[in-house]
Each structure stands twice: as structure tokens, then as C-alpha cells.
Structure 1
Amino acid sequence: MSSSPPSSPPAGLTEIATGWLDAYPVAVTGGDLFGDAAEPVAAHWRAVASGLTALAEGDPAVLQDTVTRHAADLGLTFRVTGDEEERDWPLNAMPLVIGASEWAGIERGLVQRANLLERLASDIYGPQQLVKDGHLPAAVIAGSPFFARKMLGRAPRDGRYIQVYSADLARGPRGQWRVLQDRVRMSSGIGYALENRLAMTRTGGHLLAESHVRRIVEFFDQMREGMVAACGRDSPRIALLTAGRFNQTYAEQAHLARYLGFPLVEGRDLSVMDDRLWVGTIAGPKRVDAIWRWINTTALDPLSFDAKSELGVANLFEAWAGGGVGMVNWPGTEVLESPAFAAFLPRLCRVLLGEEPLLPNVATWWCGQATESAIVASRLDQLALVPAFGQPVEGLARREPVAGAELEGAERAALLEALSRRPMDYCGQEIVHLSTTPAIINGELAPRPFTVRAFVARDAKGDWTVMHGGFARLSSGKALPTSLMGEGDLSADVWVIEDRPPDAAQVPRVIDEPPISRGGGILASQAADNLYWFGRYNERAQYVTRVLRALLDGSVEVEGGVSDRIGVSNALVELLVEGAVIPRSAATRPAAAICAAALVEAQLPGGVTALMRRRQAVGLSLRERFARDFWRLVSRPMPPVDIHRPATLLAAVRMLTEHYSALSGLVSENMVRSAAWRFLEIGQRIERAQGICRMVRRLGELEEGGEKDGALGVLLDLCDSQIIYRTRYLTGPMAGPVRDLVLLDPDNPRALVFQIAGIVEHLAALPSVRDDNLPEPPMRLARALLGQVQAANAQDTGSQWLAGIEGQLLGLSDAISSRYFLQFEADEAEKRTALL
């Protein structure tokens, strides 16, 4: 702990008798962010800890639970490399506290480094004077898989190659800050920095303001203004290009796109026409002025780079090279990230800027030079080995540093042999011993090694602005620093605290109000596709759950006895078999076993688990459009199922029924009546209409066999029409009135005609691409179908009529897909098969 006597906490904070940091186990000798802090920063540390203590009533575990809950409410997730499922974001409740004076030195170093990298990118893809003058070996450039030869001689319109830059920083035991890695390819972590601050703000209330923590929201405003200014157009459309929902940081990208108001697009949403980039929307193609890319250069255009890439856009190279679309950051700049480059940056800083590095990088030796290779081989036990160009090489299967002292026997010999054969593939780096910071671990404060990812971006004038804070990664052990979140690692918010009196603090920048806008923005065709199928999968799962509830409830109200119930139950089971919910071989099992099989079925496309997974899969691509409450509800796991305890089956079915009702309520009350909402509704209504036809057709067959009362009673239950029937008719269920109510009554929200009328209404509100104002094919089919149902009488609605309606609904679905969605045969076949 600091040897200086504690000072008074800042105004607005009250020191309580027992502070968490009083017993914090850190040596006085240095190497800890709190222990090294000078006054008044140490006083801020204690004041922050005291404020957090008060919020948690003295229990760190309570505070950690609160922060974890807020992070979950914000929808924060991530995926560890190799995992298929997302994990909750591990945000620690104790922030990193850094004084403004110390941070000012970091900011100057980051701006200097951003300028250096900008000059390097300009030379590499321009005159290459550094190579000609012998300051930089050509192999350091040409050896990188990220060097884009096609970009030689191609410069951005404004001459700026880098728009957003980030750096992983390490603080050594003596308090010195150094750069572990430069990042110009993707700015992963920038969204988590924002979300961490939002979660801590929810937890701490006024604590951040009372602690004089610098705000970070201005950084995002300035970054966005910088991207807009670089486009050179008024109100440009900037899209965030993602690799898709399976990307490790997709959740972050979705949050970031929503916060900045950027459309989140994949390569297949985009196309190039006349050297301009367009996004396919339900209203036709819309121009995209710039892309904030979160994929590699090599994946951007399969015709110009990697022909195997399925992430990019054909002919995109011609568009950006000709100035038709801006690119953040300029393709090919990721060549600067390689460890081999880091070995030359100190010298290049002096050559290009005439300055010593303010933020030196970790000492690095590129083995492509004989002297450096010999140094690395002789000092292997004191250094870490890392692939020179960021790709796995012989003896180093991972991209992360490996301590040479950990290599033994045959593994060590093999690496030294590979190093002698291809020395240019390897770099040696000094082993960094990280400072620690207080963190809440198992309900107590304990020191954890940490790194900080800091972010820099250009503002509207093209000047660099630095985020007042960043994204901290707390390591779970003593392993070498890495840029990836691993098993057991934590994140933390970074608080840059003013160490001047409050009246001297910087006044926050006033942000101009944006122009008033209404509507939901553009709706990409792929997003509309996913919304439509989300609605269908959700409605089908609800339909299956209703059938299961009818089987389990024993809600058939008849006077005819057991035989009637058996006939109706058999009809319900046939609905499950027909819908590929259960296999035919399971149809003879007891009702409880059938229901359990239907709930857990994940292989057949109609099983509840399978449908929930499909809904989750398409929902992942829509998370930037869903409210957090909605997404949290969608992400809930299936309730437990125990075949040996029928009561748990019924509880699970009822829980699912409530789940679907809650989702419907959120859609009804919270979604803006935009095109996105309409496609979700269209999908639900088409699926519900098909379900009604199936139920009436299957249960209608029992009417002719003398089991009319039981069949009609179940039909009313399945269509949520029991109460309205009883208030309207004084008799028990009868065929004509029941069929009229569930098929033809335009005022019944669960009736077939109501669903088709809703589809017509939604299609009419969608934009048309025709200039003659004639109805498009989906609208013509929907109106024809509506007219047919409106003209029908109850006695006309037999099995043949219902089968015909089902076929027309399927044709309508195909027409909607052809008109509004991107056509990918494999995807469409899979989706259609799932609901046939």
C-alpha cells in the first residue's frame, strides 16, 4: 500500500469505518496499481472502495452479484476460442483507478504511436522509402500474410489509412507502461469498454460523478463524427461489416452497431454496382458510403484476395480503390500488427518522427537477422517465443507467446531446429511481469495481473482523440500476457480520475442534438429474413406446446367417456407426428413419455428443443434490434424435464406457455411499428394460420366418428377461443359455430381469417419497388387468399378446403421469400424443411 498517509476523500464521498482496501494484501515494494499510487490518487482508490462498500453493505460478494446482474441485463456475452456457446461477460465489480496525470502520459504516447503507424502505412503502400533506405527489411513486410500487394499505390481519398486504433498496454512492476500489441485490424474490446461503463454506472449510481471519473461517451461521439466526416457526404450511411454471429466478438459488434446507429451487415447483404456499394433492403438497394470492417482484408473480396472467402463482397476492391466507398481501417493496414514489425518500431519512430517513443513496446528481436536470431537462441530461457507474423508456425501451434523456459526435451530441440531452418518465422520477446490491481475474487479483494486495451480514433477534423479509459483484462494466473479472454479471466472498467480540484476539472463537451428522425432505419433483406423465421420458429414452438398441454391437462370436457378422450388424444399425437415433433415409433408410448420426447427432441425439426435452438440461432443475428428484456427472455434455457415425474412435465409446458405469452407481450408493447416488426408478425401469422388449418383438419375428422364434443372442446382450447365461445353460445361445442369462430370470425385474434387479414395489412405497409403502383406478387396472393376465406361458410370448410388453404399459405411464404429475402438455396431449403 502507499507509504504516504491517507488523505481525505474527495468531496461528496464519506469514508466509512472499515474499508475493503485496509486489509488488501499487497507489498509496499511496488508492482500494484493501488500500492504504487501517489496521493491524492490513493485517496481516490480508498474513497471508491468505501463508496462501493456502502453500496454493498460491506460485502464484496453482494457487490459482485449486483454487477454481474447488470452486465447480464445489458446482454453482455462473449465466446472463448473453441466454444460453440456464448458465455456471460465476466465483469469484475472493482474498477481500475488511474490518475489523470498518469493517463495524460499514456494519451501522449498513444497519439504518437498512432501517428507513427499512419506514417508507416503510407510508406508501405506508397513509396516504400524505408525499405529503400535500409531502415526496414523488405521481408518484414512481404513475409506477413496480411500484406496486401494489390493495395500498393492505392491510397484513401483523404490520405488517412487509420481511423481507429487500439493498443494493449502492460504496466510493469516499477510503474512503467509499455505496448504489448498494436491493433489496427479490428478494435475488439471497444464495445465492451462501453458496456462495462454502463454496467458500472448502473451499479454505482452517483459514485462515478462523485469520484470525478472522466466520461467516455464523448469518445464514441467524436469517433462517429470522424467516420462521417471522412465520407465527404452529408448524412452518409456507414455500416459495420461483421463476420457473422459465430464470430468471437459478435455480441460486442451488435451492441456497438446499435449504440452508434450503424446497420450491422454481413457480406451477403452487400453488392457492388457501378463501383458503388449497396445493401439489399426490403425497399431495394440502398447505398453504403463507408464500412467499418471487422473482418480481415483477405476476406473482403473473394475476386481480389482469398477466393475461398464467404465473408466478403465480390468486386468490393474496385469500389474502395476507386473511392466509391470508404473503409475503416484501410485494407492492408493489419500488416503493422506483426511482432516482427514491433522489433523495428523504436528505430522507425526516431526516423519518421524524430522522437523517442513515449510508450515503448515490449523489447522484441526478429530472428530474420543473424545477430538477433543468435541472441534469441542463446537467451531462450529468459525470453518468450512468438510467431513473427501472427500465424502458427512449427513448434508454436498458437499465436500467443510461449516462455522459452517452459520448453523441454524433444519439444525444445524441435523448436531450435525449426528456428535454425526458418528463423524469419520467429520473434523473441522479453517476458513481461505485469503489475497487479485489486479485484473481487471469491468475495474478497485480491491482487490480479492486468493489461489495458486503450482506444484512439480520429475526430471530425481528423485529429486523434483518446478514450478516457478502456477495457481491462484481469488474468486468471501467471501465464504470459495475451490479447484473448481465456478461461477464468475477468474484465474491469478503467476509471481515469481527475486529480485536480473539481472546479478545475474539464467541462464535458456539449454534443449537438441530432436531427429528428422516425422509423426503424433501413431493414436489410437478411435481417428481414431472420425476423420472419424467428416469428415462424417461435409460433411453431408455441403451437407444439399447446398440443402438449392438451395432452397433459386432460382438459377434454365430454360426456362420452374414456373412448372419446382416447380418440382425441390419438388425434393430438398424430399432429405431433405430422409436424415432425416426434418419430412415428414414439406415437404408441404413454402420454407423459410422448410429451417428454417432444420437449427434448433436438434432431427432428419440429421438436421443441430443436425449434428453440433454431429461434436462438436466427435471433443471434438480430440482437441489435431486440430490446435487452426481450433478448434475455429469448436466451432462457429450456425448463427441466423428468419423464418419471409428470407434474414436472406439466410445469415445464406451462412455463413455456408463459414464456411465449411474455414474448408476445414484449413484441406488442415495445417494438416500434417498423418494417422489422411487420416481418416478425408476418412470420408468426403465416405459421399460426397453418397450425389452425392442421388442427381443424385433424380434429375435424373425429367429428364424423362420433367424438365431436371432445374434438371441438380441444380445438377451442388450442385456439384460445373457449371463453369467447361460452359467452357467445349457451350450448356445448358444436361443429358449425366452432368452425366459424376459429376459421372465419374476423374479430377473433386466433381465427384463420384474422391471421390472413393481418398478413395483408402488413404487406400493404411494406415499401414497394414497382413504379406502376401495382400490387406485388405476395400482396396479390395474400388478397386472393383473404377473399377466399372471407367468402367461405362454416359448412364449406372441410378437410379438402383446409388442405387447399395450407398449400396457398406455403405458396405465399415462398412468394414473400422470393420478393424480400436474399436467395441462398441451402439456407432456404433448411428453413423450409424445418417447418413443412
Structure 2
Amino acid sequence: MATHFAHDTGTHARRRYDDYAAAPSDTMRSAAAAPWIAVLEELSAVAGDDLGHARERVQRHAADIGTGFRIIGEESERPWPVSPVPLLIDAAEWATIERGVIQRADLFETILKDLYGPARFVERGLIPATLVTGSPFYLRPLVGLTPPGGHHLHFVAIDLGRSPSGEWRVLGDQLRAPTGAGYALENRLAVSRTLGGLQGRLNVRRHAPFFAAFREGLAAACRRSDPRIGLLTPGRYNPSYPEQAHLARYLGLLLVEGDDLAALEDRLYVRTIGGLKRVDALWRRLDPRLLDPLAFDSHSRIGVPGLIDVWAQGNVVLANAPGAGVLESAAFGAFLPQLATRLTGADLILPNIATWWCGQPREAAHVAAELDSMLLSSAFGARTLGLPGDGAVSGAELTREQRAALLDDMTRRPQDYVGQEVVRLSTMPVVIGDAIEPRPFTLRVFAARDGLGRWQVLPGGFARIGEHPDPRAAVMGEGTWSADVCVHGAEPVAQVSLLPAPDSLHIRRNPGTLPSRVADNFFWLGRYLERGEALLGMIRTMLGSSIDADASAGPDDATAGRLVAEIVEAGAAPAPASLRRPDLIAFARIAMEARDGYQSVAAINTHAQRIAGGSRDRLSVDMVRLLDAPFPTHRGMLDRAGSLQRRYAAIAGLSAEHMGRTAAWRFHDLGRRVERARAITRAARVFGMVGASSDDLSTLLDLADSQISYRQRYLTGIARVPVIDLTVLDPGNPRALAFQVERIREHLDALPVLGDDGMAEPQQIEATELYALVAPAQAALLDPETLSEVERRLFRLSEAIARRYFLQGAEPLRASGLTLA
């Protein structure tokens, strides 16, 4: 049977190879057949007769990894579009690309050292002064400063296009904050899980050594032997935030935002629950102009005041150094060939696409004369008056009015424009439906410095595939795909992993530094999840066992009125017109689903999603998937409420049984306990005091999820004192107030303290006093005043936790006892 299956797989692969209709310039058609047939055999083994199965499978693996991206202006992430067919490049062809990328990276480093140093290239006329000073990414305050470690560049990306003749040419350079390496890694993981035998069959070179070398290179540039390295992100709304979170996890870097960091006495620190901890290097994904409001853009609210002073003193490495983006401009491409010849004595191994900067009279005249055969774009990336839209525009596609406006503005400000040849790309195979069709692609290649300061090139990078057969350059956006890039050869590849050898790995049980912002997020994630579940419980109890209009009746009017008042007090919905069932159902619908202006269950869930989005590098894929799941759309309210209840239970189960008992988990559980304690205290004060009816007491049991426990314990019917004891004072009931208070005290005793004098801190004192109020209480004597005092103390406790652990924004950096490490 196995032989027959292998024969069928080979037959399918050969048929698909023969049926592939592409031009001779296509990567499959222009290369040796054997490697591509191996790819098609692996695809056939997965998909059989239907290649759509392979596409669905690789997408499922990408989703399991947690890969996603966001289009600017959109709230929700999109799934990462990865093709099951990788781009194959043989080792000999790759060697040329590798040499060309290293040559280019060295050339950029040489130019940057001069531009921010003696500026001899400008003085000698090799680079026009306007080309430098006209760029918004030329940062004049950095002139004369030497970056820590001596290098401006640590990580670069080069965008390449393969022409129909097979020549690789440079489309663009990414030097400020290159994106995509994480997607290349995720593509490799997803495709490897789909086509499991391909790496061994083709001797595909691995990614892990490159990332290990990059991490070693950053560490080597630092001044401490065991440096703390962070990945500086703009935050969860950045289009590539999922990639950044994945890279931070994979490389073992601390994912931080600007508010997590503080510059103090020429050192950079991260605000953690244990005080300020020193940071030695940042792989930044933040626009350099926003890095430090004191040095650059004073309006920046996501930077770190004083960061550039720390960098200038050599106490923090920034990868890449601010100001590197001056070489990204399209206009520089017009001068790189000459610079390469003058500075290195050799031509560019990877030539640029032909570029004309209109800041020179002869070049401007040429662009104007050949407008119909060129792409026009901004010289420095900023929007210009003469171009419609933000990107490059084909001169042939301009209307008469647009053409006139462009030529008019080029006359006034020619230095703002460049003309470039229209790039025609070769194609690669992509699964479309149940067939393989050719599509144009571009390739992004990455290079990074290793521990010795030498450039290492990621073997492969990632390909971006155009949606349509149009052979012009593709960009990632709606309807486009990406692909893994496999460099293959005859030589076997060692089984290399980013992880150290098991015998050399130092065992540790400390999960690492927890930034204050992340602790804050986990605390409030727990609170919002509990708050949403408690509100849903009140809605369900108000309407009885069912939320359908024809279901059994809920509690009597007095109890229902109190539930309504609590829901209104929570800001979930406006008061209903009456307590009649139709009005209550309409009221319940608003409290569950309203989006505008009310703290409904849906709104609370949205808050939880946003909070979790800022710490996704510390959450499991399953947890993220549950939190990001859309609001239920079942027809009946009962079904929607049941779905929500099951989702809350699943999230609680994941946090209880699958999260390691780290400080992050403690803050998450602490938030749950504080919120649950607040909810049950309020419920007991409203529904459990002297004079409470049987419906009131039953409601209290429902809200405390203790109906079954009560019935098992008491067979003689419902009574106030036993209900209060079970729901408020029983330390063995996980829904009772006493249980929450004990867990709160345990968590605060386990979390770090700032001082070493052994004295209790304010949050611990608050927890102890709360415990002293609750633990000795007697159910028969518990009164509304005591419960109100418990509520006040819970509020004070939450404030004390925030003041102690959530050090952000303008929090004084020299607070008493603040630890510097």
C-alpha cells in the first residue's frame, strides 16, 4: 500500500509539473526539475487530488502559531496569508545574493559613519548635501556621536525582485526598523509542519543559526556580560505587532513599550514589579523620530525621555542606530552605484533599479520627458503635492489633470521627486483553487551582525506574492500572499536549533523580568473577565433559567427590581420602562450586547481583548483565540448567553490549569479575586441582609454559583444565615468572599517587595486588615455597614496594588526604596 501511495504521489507531482503553464522566466520553469517535483510530491502527499487541502492546512498551522497582521486603520488583525508552495533557490544562486546583501550592508555602514561623522562624501561631492538635509530621517542632533559598539547598523532588510531574465535587482532598502523576519520564521514553521519531509529531501538551510547569531551580536555590543535585551514595540496597534511578539518569544527578548522604560542617571531601566531593572540593548521597531521627545519630536507620547542621552553615553545599544533611515530614501538609489565603485572599487553585486533624482536638472528633464515609462514617487517618503496617494504612481496611468499637477510641482520642488524604471518580475507557483498558477513575487532578505561584528544573512527570507498575474512589484496588503523561501543544495544541513545544547543549558525556574505594564494588563484582564461573567450572571438570574421570551418566570418583582438597579448602577443599560417581561428582555439585550456608551458584556469583553492584545507574547495561542473570538451570533439570547458562559469557563480553566505559577499569573488571579470579592460583597449587601426574601437569597446563591453546594449542605430549605455563611464567610467555597481574601493575601505575600527590612508594604497591610475584618466575622451578625467597609477596603487595596506595582508615566523614578538593578 505504501508503494502504491508513493507511486500515486509521484504521478500527481509529475502531472502538475507538466501542466504548470508559466513563462520560461518562472522560477519553476527556469530551474532544475527535481527539487520542484519533490515539492509537488510533498504537496500531493498532504492534499491528494485537491491542493486546496494543502492551502487550508498551512493556514491552520499559521493560525496555531498565532501569526497575524493588521492593515493600518483597521481594528482587528487578519490571518497571515501563507502559501503552501515555497520559493526554491539553489545554493549557488543564493551565494550571489548573500554576497550582494553583505556588500550593500557594509556600504551603508561606511556611508552612515561618514554622514554622522566628518561628512567628507558630501564635501567631495559624492553625495549632494540636499539629499541628506532634505530627508526627514537625517537626525542632525546625532552628528559627531559614535554608537555603542561602533556600528550604526545591526539588522537590515533588502527587497529584491527577480527580472524575467533571472537577474536579482534591489527594489528598496529597510534600515530604520526592518520588518518581516518574524514572518519569515513563522512561514518556515507553518510550511515545515505541512510539508514535513521537504527539509530533509532538499537539504534546506535552517533559520535558527541566523537568529542565534543576531542575538549574540546584540549581546556582544553591550557593556555587561549578561545583558538584558528588549524589543521596543510601538504597541498592539502597530501593523506588525504579532510578528514582534513572536520574535520576542523566540529570541527570549523582553517585549517593551516606551512607557515601560525610564532613563535615569545615564542608564536605561525597565519598570518592573521588582523596581527598575537595567536594560542594555533595544531592538527597536519604533520610528526613530519618536524615540525621545527631548531629542527629536517633542509631541511623541510613545518614546522614552532621555533615551538618546543614555545612547550617547554608550550605555544602551539601539538596533538600528537612530538616523540610519536617511539612506532608505529612493533618491539615494541614484547614487549608490557610483558610491560603491568609488568606495569599494567594485560594482554592486545586486544592482539597483534605474533611478533618477529630480534634484538634478538633467535628471529632472529626463524624467519629465520619459514620464509615461516611469514610476514616480516621493524622494524622501513624505507625501508630495504632485502625486495622488501616498505610494509610487505609474506615469502612464496619470490623468491629464494629474499629469499637469505633477509637472507643475516638479518645476517648483524638483528635489521632492524621483523617477524609476517600471519593474517587471518573474513568477513563482501558487495554489489557486485546485491548480498551480504563476504569480509575480518580491523577496525580502535579512542580514544581521553576529558576535564578531560580521554580517550573517538569513538563508531565505520571505516572498510576497501578487494577487494578480500583473508582473509589477507586489506589496503586502489585501488579497496578497506570502511564501517560505527555501535555500537548498547538495550538502546535508546540520540539525541546528536556537536552543542551547541540553547539557550546557543553565536550569532556571525564574521566568524572567515582568514589566509593570504587563503586570497591570494581567491584573485588569482578570478583573474584566470576572466583571463580564458577574454581569452575565445577573442578567441570567434576572430573567430566570432561560432568556427566551416564553421561558419560565424569573424572581419576583422586588428581587428583579434590585437586579435591574444593580445592572443600571454598573452602567450596562438604561433603566427599563417597567418590570414586565418584554421590557426586561429588551433591557437584558442592551446589557449583553450594547456597544455605544454602555458597559455591557460585549463592551467588557472588548476591554479584555484590548488589554490582552498588549501582552500576547505571554499568552497562549488558545487563550488569545478565546479572547479574540467574535461575540456570539446565535439566534436566541439563551444560546448567546450560554456560549458566553462556556467561553468564560474555558478562559478560567486555561488560566487555572495551563498558566505557569509566575508573577504574571499571580497578577491575573489577583485581579480575578479582587473583582470577585467586590461582586459577592455587593451582592450579599443587596440580597442577603435581614429581611431578605427567599427569592433574594436564591438570587444570592445564583450569583455566587453556590446553589448546588447549598442544597448538598442544607436539606431543610433556604435560610438567610446559612446562605450568608456559604457565600461570604466560608473559606472553603471558591466563590465566597473569605476565599478571595485569603488568596489575595497569599498572592501579595508571594510577590516581590522593594525593601529588605522585612516590614510589610502598604498593599500587604491593606490585605491583612481586610482579612482581619472578614475572617472572624459571624454570619448572623454581618450587617450592611460591615460589607460596605469591605467594599471600601477592596477599593483601597486595588489602589495600593496599582501604586506599588504599576509604575508608569510620571510615577516618580526616585520613589523611596526603589530598587535599581
Same fold (TM over 0.5): yes
> d(CA) in 2 for partners of 1:36 and 1:471?
20
3-state SS of paired residue (1:16)? helix
> d(CA) in 1 for partners of 2:572 and 2:27?
58
**Equivalent of 1:814, from 790, 794, 799?**
799
**Equivalent of 2:668, from 664, 680, 687?**
680
Equivalent positions of 1:100-179 (< 5 A) are 100-179=91-170
**Which stretch of the first structure deviates more once superposed, 507-516 or 143-152?**
507-516
- 1:3 alignment counterpart: none
From the superposition, tell whether residues 480 and 600 of structure 1 become closer, same or farther in structure 2 (CA, over 3 Å).
Answer: farther
- 1:34 alignment counterpart: 28
**Equivalent of 1:719, from 691, 704, 710?**
704
- 1:227 alignment counterpart: 218
**Which stretch of the first structure deviates more once superposed, 197-206 or 45-54?**
197-206
**Equivalent of 2:758, from 773, 791, 812?**
773
Query: Does structure 1 residue 662 correspond to structure 2 residue 650?
Result: yes
- The code of the aligned residue for 1:799 comes to P
3-state SS of paired residue (2:263)? strand
> d(CA) in 2 for partners of 1:314 and 1:774?
34
- Cα deviation, residue 397, structure 1: 4.7
From the superposition, tell whether residues 605 and 820 of structure 1 become closer, same or farther in structure 2 (CA, over 3 Å).
Answer: farther
- TM-score of the superposition, structure 1-length normalised? 0.92
* Alignment check: 8 A CA contact 2:203 2:491 kept: no
**Equivalent of 2:713, from 717, 725, 728?**
728
**Equivalent of 1:580, from 571, 579, 587?**
571
3-state SS of paired residue (1:451)? strand
- 1:434 alignment counterpart: 425
- 1:800 alignment counterpart: 785
- Cα deviation, residue 385, structure 1: 0.4
* Alignment check: 8 A CA contact 1:191 1:253 kept: yes
3-state SS of paired residue (2:149)? coil
- 2:377 alignment counterpart: 386
From the superposition, tell whether residues 318 and 178 of structure 1 become closer, same or farther in structure 2 (CA, over 3 Å).
Answer: same
- 2:407 alignment counterpart: 416
> d(CA) in 2 for partners of 1:347 and 1:103?
25
> d(CA) in 1 for partners of 2:331 and 2:680?
65
- 2:50 alignment counterpart: 59
- The code of the aligned residue for 1:22 comes to Y
**Equivalent of 1:704, from 667, 691, 697?**
691
- 1:829 alignment counterpart: none
- Cα deviation, residue 19, structure 1: 4.4
- 2:480 alignment counterpart: 489
> d(CA) in 1 for partners of 2:291 and 2:8?
51
> d(CA) in 2 for partners of 1:781 and 1:628?
36
* Alignment check: 8 A CA contact 1:350 1:356 kept: yes
Equivalent positions of 1:187-336 (< 5 A) are 187-336=178-327
3-state SS of paired residue (2:150)? coil
3-state SS of paired residue (1:97)? strand
- Cα deviation, residue 166, structure 1: 0.6
**Which stretch of the first structure deviates more once superposed, 682-691 or 572-581?**
572-581
> d(CA) in 2 for partners of 1:490 and 1:736?
64
- The code of the aligned residue for 2:252 comes to G
- Cα deviation, residue 509, structure 1: 8.1
Query: Does structure 1 residue 615 correspond to structure 2 residue 608?
Result: yes
- 1:474 alignment counterpart: 465
Superimposed CA distance per residue, residues 293-312 of structure 1 (whole angstroms, 9 cap, x where no aligned partner)? 11122111101111011121
- Cα deviation, residue 429, structure 1: 0.4
**Equivalent of 1:599, from 586, 592, 596?**
592
* Alignment check: 8 A CA contact 2:149 2:317 kept: no
3-state SS of paired residue (1:158)? helix
From the superposition, tell whether residues 445 and 704 of structure 1 become closer, same or farther in structure 2 (CA, over 3 Å).
Answer: same
- Cα deviation, residue 552, structure 1: 4.1
Query: Does structure 1 residue 402 correspond to structure 2 residue 393?
Result: yes
**Which stretch of the first structure deviates more once superposed, 383-392 or 152-161?**
152-161
- The code of the aligned residue for 2:54 comes to L
* Alignment check: 8 A CA contact 1:320 1:326 kept: yes
From the superposition, tell whether residues 319 and 655 of structure 1 become closer, same or farther in structure 2 (CA, over 3 Å).
Answer: same
> d(CA) in 2 for partners of 1:480 and 1:315?
47
Superimposed CA distance per residue, residues 224-245 of structure 1 (whole angstroms, 9 cap, x where no aligned partner)? 1111111132110011111111
> d(CA) in 2 for partners of 1:232 and 1:581?
54
- The code of the aligned residue for 2:71 comes to V
- 2:75 alignment counterpart: 84
From the superposition, tell whether residues 501 and 75 of structure 1 become closer, same or farther in structure 2 (CA, over 3 Å).
Answer: closer
Gaps of 5+ in 2: 1-5, 812-821
- The code of the aligned residue for 2:27 comes to L
- 1:371 alignment counterpart: 362
- Cα deviation, residue 445, structure 1: 1.4
* Alignment check: 8 A CA contact 2:271 2:516 kept: yes
- The code of the aligned residue for 1:786 comes to Y
3-state SS of paired residue (2:165)? coil
- Cα deviation, residue 318, structure 1: 0.9
* Alignment check: 8 A CA contact 2:219 2:451 kept: yes
- 1:645 alignment counterpart: none
> d(CA) in 2 for partners of 1:601 and 1:251?
29
> d(CA) in 2 for partners of 1:405 and 1:564?
73
- 1:671 alignment counterpart: 659
* Alignment check: 8 A CA contact 1:19 1:53 kept: no
- 1:7 alignment counterpart: none
3-state SS of paired residue (2:700)? helix
- TM-score of the superposition, structure 2-length normalised? 0.94
> d(CA) in 2 for partners of 1:429 and 1:668?
58
- Cα deviation, residue 478, structure 1: 6.0
* Alignment check: 8 A CA contact 1:587 1:594 kept: no
> d(CA) in 2 for partners of 1:78 and 1:440?
21
> d(CA) in 2 for partners of 1:117 and 1:762?
52
Superimposed CA distance per residue, residues 201-229 of structure 1 (whole angstroms, 9 cap, x where no aligned partner)? 22222333233221111111111111111
**Which stretch of the first structure deviates more once superposed, 71-80 or 569-578?**
569-578
Aligned-residue RMSD, C-alpha: 2.2
Give the fraction of aligned pairs with identical amino acids, expressed as a percent: 45
- The code of the aligned residue for 1:56 comes to A
- Cα deviation, residue 86, structure 1: 1.4
- Cα deviation, residue 794, structure 1: 0.6
3-state SS of paired residue (1:590)? helix
- Cα deviation, residue 775, structure 1: 0.9
3-state SS of paired residue (1:222)? helix
- 1:830 alignment counterpart: none
Superimposed CA distance per residue, residues 673-713 of structure 1 (whole angstroms, 9 cap, x where no aligned partner)? 11111111111111101110122222236x626xx222222
* Alignment check: 8 A CA contact 2:87 2:485 kept: yes
Gaps of 5+ in 1: 1-10, 643-647, 827-836
3-state SS of paired residue (1:169)? strand
> d(CA) in 2 for partners of 1:731 and 1:477?
74
- Cα deviation, residue 248, structure 1: 1.1
- 2:814 alignment counterpart: none
**Equivalent of 2:725, from 722, 737, 740?**
740
**Equivalent of 1:341, from 332, 345, 354?**
332
- The code of the aligned residue for 2:230 comes to A
* Alignment check: 8 A CA contact 2:576 2:583 kept: no
**Equivalent of 2:171, from 153, 172, 180?**
180
- The code of the aligned residue for 2:602 comes to T
- The code of the aligned residue for 1:603 comes to D
* Alignment check: 8 A CA contact 1:26 1:32 kept: no
- 1:590 alignment counterpart: 583
Query: Does structure 1 residue 692 correspond to structure 2 residue 680?
Result: yes
* Alignment check: 8 A CA contact 1:14 1:47 kept: no
- Cα deviation, residue 17, structure 1: 4.1
- The code of the aligned residue for 2:759 comes to L
> d(CA) in 1 for partners of 2:308 and 2:474?
30
**Which stretch of the first structure deviates more once superposed, 119-128 or 80-89?**
80-89
* Alignment check: 8 A CA contact 1:20 1:445 kept: no
**Which stretch of the first structure deviates more once superposed, 304-313 or 722-731?**
722-731
From the superposition, tell whether residues 825 and 459 of structure 1 become closer, same or farther in structure 2 (CA, over 3 Å).
Answer: closer
- Cα deviation, residue 520, structure 1: 2.0
- 1:785 alignment counterpart: 770
Equivalent positions of 1:13-28 (< 5 A) are 15-17=10-12, 19=14, 21-22=16-17, 24-28=19-23
> d(CA) in 2 for partners of 1:632 and 1:132?
57
Superimposed CA distance per residue, residues 606-642 of structure 1 (whole angstroms, 9 cap, x where no aligned partner)? 2011101100111110100001111111111110154
